[in-house]
Structure 1
Amino acid sequence: MPDQSNVSPDRTPRVEVPVDVLCLGESMALFVPTEAGPPERVRMWTRTVGGAESNVACHLAGMGVAAAWVSAVGDDAFGRAVADFVAGFGVDVSRVRVDPSRPTGLYVKESDAGGSPVRYYRRGSAASAMGPELVAELPLDQVRIVHTSGITPALSDSCLALVRELVAAPRRTHLLSFDLNWRPALWRDRDPAVLRELAAAADIVLVGADEALAVWDADGPAAIRELLPEPGTLVVKQAEQGATLVERDPDTGRDRPPVVQPALRVDVVEPVGAGDAFAAGFLAATLAGAPPRRRLRAGHLQAAAVLRTTEDVCPPLPADLVTRLTEADDDEWAAAHLR
């Protein structure tokens, strides 16, 4: 079997494309029921694509940021569908490996309120076979941010070794961004204590307040910062309450006063995917050198776009609206309501 490592998912030779943000993690075929009822009774499903890191890459590309997604897919129809979906948003997928012997992972959303809302079929997937050798192939000196999440180390021992290698790699030109992305179903047979180690080694950490409470028993931004004093930038997402940014002053080595930005009022259609959208908005604004409050607002605005749809990825809000709200005073921001 020929080596597939230098072949993109459509089997064309890899073309090096300059990127600002490189996102690494598994994406899968996703099946969503199109009718109500318990999953064993549902007969009609819609196939789409889902994955935290590729969601971030797609949002970034939609905002005009050069983004790449690195992963592995099977040499199958689902793998081609996943790669085509992500590439369709303008994301560079040329470094996605095609595994000739392992399948593309998939997961299923279940409409049964009494059962698990999501069921994974990803054990033994192509992405779960990724390992630390992949880091040597990444153009780390040619990107500004590398983004991954706590999902990847949960997939397998080799994926944990991959993330450990990634956090240990020299950062001559890039920052490492880590989103906790707590998925308890993936950690049933693994030790989540490693998540503290990985988050501590990152430059930018994004974590939901509810996630930190569940994983680390850390309640609120101050407790989370006490647990994670190492990252230069810590963002605590507090759902509809807003988000808190804690950053270290590089000159003094001490934390600046926390910056709190309330969330926008939004008529929510579905909350899934909002965290990835927030991460993308925040990272895009970070690349642009925006001040703290505007970075948080950029995250809220991108999350708001997703909250108003049933999709994990969607186009950003109109540019004139984004500009107006980003520059709004506190009263105008508080009065805004996206319906």
Structure 2
Amino acid sequence: MSVSAPETVDVVCLGESMVTFLPTSSGRLADVPSFERGIGGAESNVACALAAAGHRTRWLSRVGTDGFGDHLVEAVAAYGVDTSAVQRDRLRPTGIYFRTAGERATGDGDRATPGTATAVTPEGEAVAEVVYYRAGSAASAMSPRVVPDRDLWSGRILHLSGITAALSDDCLALLGEATRRRPGRPLVSFDVNYRVNLWDERRSVAAEPAVLLDLARGADLVFVGEDEAEAAWSIRGANAIRAALPEPGVVVVKQGGAGATVFTDDGPSVFVAALAVDIAAPVGAGDAFAAGFLSATLRGLPVRRRIRHGHLMAAAALTVAGDLAVPPPRAVADRLAALDDEAWGRLRLGPGWTEAAAVGADREVCTP
């Protein structure tokens, strides 16, 4: 019996999502008395942000048949994401994690006990804890055998993340197949998303962060932070990163609070400074940046505008407490992305700016 191909969407996002438990008060996890439930996952974050921005998206993953799996699928679908291809696993649970405020680090600061990450400031002060319960999860059983090409190739863009490659040997094999250059595949977007603690838990010969470089070389569009490239590959600086990744047509090097540099095959590199933002929580900004850049890519905007849309989506995420934020209305984002460099540099965005922009108050919340 033949299976019909799924309807083509703008972006297909493949990867694990987990139920997150966010503290109701500040302090160490050992001292937090209660938590609020949410969802988190790099690829589903991108899918949700793109759907909220008006694009058709599909999320591919596996979850357990437990209540947490029900919640994940329902919550992602509520953003307008197609979840029809999400598989349910009767034998493996849905992953969950607990965290304090803040984001996971990529460097030595998150080397801790298995399943645990502790982000630190440059001075060594701990600012966040993340405890994962994802070993043996349903998503870790994703493989080329259970995720068919007809699903992977059902979008104009296939968005992947290095987090998936770190989950298991089967997941790494799936990412290897997804990034293998073959006729007819969609544009492949790959966010390196290096997580030290995940790779430290993997002890197989193949489980080395260097494989992320091979996966990135198979993609058409790569997102990578300067800190990630140094931590994973000992490569320093945007130009050196591009030299190590000559194959992708577009390489986006994220440079923290400074901004981002984009290299393309058909022109000189382009740098755009990051926006001044009053940060509520530095969680999900990288995923939001990728969503903004991909949205502008789908619309065929020039490279400089693509970077600015990435910065604007990141600013939306940075000014809310959770992983996901309401994106700015497209008309507002287009107006801001079209500002001259001086006006762009004067922008300062704070909590609530996207909601205010949605009711026509963008000038008041988007300028100092």
> Normalising to structure 2: TM-score of the pair?
0.83
RMSD across aligned C-alpha pairs, in angstroms? 1.9
- Which one of 66, 72, 83 corresponds to residue 76 of structure 1? 66
Q: 2:247 is matched with which residue?
A: 230
Does residue 119 (structure 1) correspond to residue 131 (structure 2)? The answer is yes
Query: 1:135-175 CA deviation, whole Å, 9 max, x = no partner?
Result: 42534554210001000010001101111111126252510
Q: How does 1:1-339 map to 2 (within 5 A)?
A: 16-110=6-100, 114=126, 117-168=129-180, 170-172=182-184, 174-188=186-200, 189=202, 190-249=207-266, 256-339=267-350
Q: TM-score, with normalisation over the residues of structure 1?
A: 0.90
Shift of 1:30: 0.6
C-alpha contact 2:8 2:156 (8 A) present in aligned 1 = no
**Partner amino acid, structure 2, of 1:243:** A
Structure 1, unpaired ranges of 5+: 1-5, 7-13, 250-255
**The 10-residue stretch of structure 1 (15-24 or 57-66) with the greater mean CA deviation from structure 2:** 15-24
Q: C-alpha displacement at 1:84, in angstroms?
A: 0.7
Matches of 2:323 and 2:5 in 1, distance apart? 28
Change (3 A) 1:222 1:39: same
Q: What secondary structure, in the 3-state scheme, does the structure 2 residue paired with 1:299 have?
A: helix
Q: Distance in 2 between matches of 1:222 and 1:178?
A: 19
The 1:15/1:89 distance shift into structure 2, 3 A limit, reads: farther
Give the Cα–Cα distance (whole angstroms) in 1 for the partners of residues 48 and 317 of structure 2. 12
Q: 1:241 to 1:27 in 2, by over 3 A?
A: same
SS of residue paired to 1:151 = helix
- Using the TM superposition, give the Cα deviation of residue 315 of structure 1 relative to its aligned residue in structure 2, in angstroms: 1.0
After superposition, the Cα gap between the structure-2 partners of 1:47 and 1:140, relative to the gap in structure 1 and judged at 3 Å, is: closer
How many residue pairs are counted as aligned between the two chains? Answer: 321
Distance in 2 of aligned mates of 1:34 and 1:79: 23
Q: Distance in 2 between matches of 1:104 and 1:174?
A: 29
Q: Against the structure 1 CA distance between its residues 79 and 141, is the aligned structure 2 distance closer, same or farther, given a 3 Å change threshold?
A: closer
Q: Secondary structure at the match of 2:172?
A: helix
SS in structure 1 at match of 2:236: coil
Letter of the 2:230 partner, please give it.
L
Does the 8 Å CA contact 1:155/1:186 hold for their aligned counterparts? yes
Q: Whole-Å Cα distance in 1 between the matches of residues 148 and 18 of structure 2?
A: 24
Cα separation, 1, equivalents of 2:25 and 2:150: 42
Distance 2:31 2:344 in 1: 45
Letter in 1 for 2:41: G
TM-aligned CA deviation for residue 193 of structure 1: 1.3
Distance in structure 1 (CA, Å) of the matches to 2:27 and 2:260? 36
Secondary structure of the residue aligned to 1:206 is strand
Following TM superposition, by how much is the alpha carbon of 1:262 offset from its aligned partner in structure 2, in angstroms? 0.7
Gaps of 5+ in 2: 102-117, 119-124, 351-368
Distance in 1 of aligned mates of 2:23 and 2:152: 40
Q: Share of identical aligned residues, percent?
A: 50
CA contact (8 A) 1:154 1:160 kept: yes
Q: 1:116 to 1:35 in 2, by over 3 A?
A: closer
Contact 1:140 / 1:171 at 8 angstroms: preserved in 2?
A: no
The one-letter amino acid paired with 2:196 is: P
